[in-house]
Amino acid sequence: MAVVLTDQGEFEAAPRRSPPGLWLNTRDLARITGFEAKPEGFCKGDICVPVPHGVARYVDEAGNIDAAAFWRHIGNVAVRDKAGEVWAFGAGAGERAQALETLEAPDFELPDFDGRLHRLSDYRGQKVFLSSWASW
């Protein structure tokens, strides 16, 4: 089993091949990244990423996808532990910068100290003073 940490949460998946790479079936890819395999490529909402011509480096004959290679191919970042059992997937600089440029405050969900989840957007309609602090 591999653990994949993403902005959406922590996911478990059974890799189809050993590292390097995080080889997943299309169902796990969709569950973890939101990208579904379609005839036109890998699609999330209106966005479709065509599978490159020739031998796609991140798709094998059995139809498994190297999710990490795919994730990086579309401009994101992915790192892993030595064994390839834990992966962290994040948005790339381009996506983060684009999001900021709109001046729409990026939404997020975090727990309070009682474990109750709050979304920034729960406070829409108020002026939000979003402030950071730490004990260290």
Partner 1 sequence: MWQQIYDAMKDKGFVVVAVAMDTAEAARPYVDAAKPAYPCLVDRDHRVAALYGMVNVPEAVWIDENGRIARPAENAGSWDGFRRRDRTTGIMPKEDVDLIVRAKRTYMDAVRDWAINGAASRHVFDEEAARARLRPPSEDVALAHVHFRLGGHLLRTGRPDEALTHFEEARRLHPDSWTIWRQTAGRNDQGFAANADFWARVDALGESRYYPRVDMEGMP
Cα–Cα dist 121/109, whole Å? 9
Q: Is 81 in the site for partner 1 (CB under 8 A)?
A: yes
Question: Judged by CB under 8 A, how many residues of this single chain contact partner 1?
Answer: 50
Q: Is 9 in the site for partner 1 (CB under 8 A)?
A: no
Q: Is 40 in the site for partner 1 (CB under 8 A)?
A: no
Q: 50-75 in b/e burial notation, b at 16+ Cβ within 10 A? A: eeeeeeeebbeeeebbbbbbbbebee
- Which of the 8 DSSP states describes residue 50? P
- Which of the 8 DSSP states describes residue 20? S
Q: Is 91 in the site for partner 1 (CB under 8 A)?
A: yes
Q: Which of 1, 2, 7, 60 binds partner 1 (CB under 8 A)?
A: 7
Stretch that binds partner 1, among 1-9, 28-36, 44-52, 58-66 (CB under 8 A): 1-9
- Looking at the Cβ atoms of 13 and 59, the one nearer to partner 1 is 13
Cα–Cα dist 136/133, whole Å? 9
Bond preceding residue 20 cis, omega within 30 of 0:
yes
Q: Is 14 in the site for partner 1 (CB under 8 A)?
A: no
CB of 40 to partner 1, least distance (A): 28
Q: Is 1 in the site for partner 1 (CB under 8 A)?
A: no
Helix (H, G, I), strand (E, B) or coil at 69: helix
Cβ distance 70 to 25 under 8 Å? no
- Looking at the Cβ atoms of 23 and 71, the one nearer to partner 1 is 71
Q: State the residues that interact with partner 1 by CB under 8 A.
A: 3, 5, 7, 10, 77-82, 86-93, 96-97, 99-101, 103-108, 110-113, 118, 120-121, 123-136
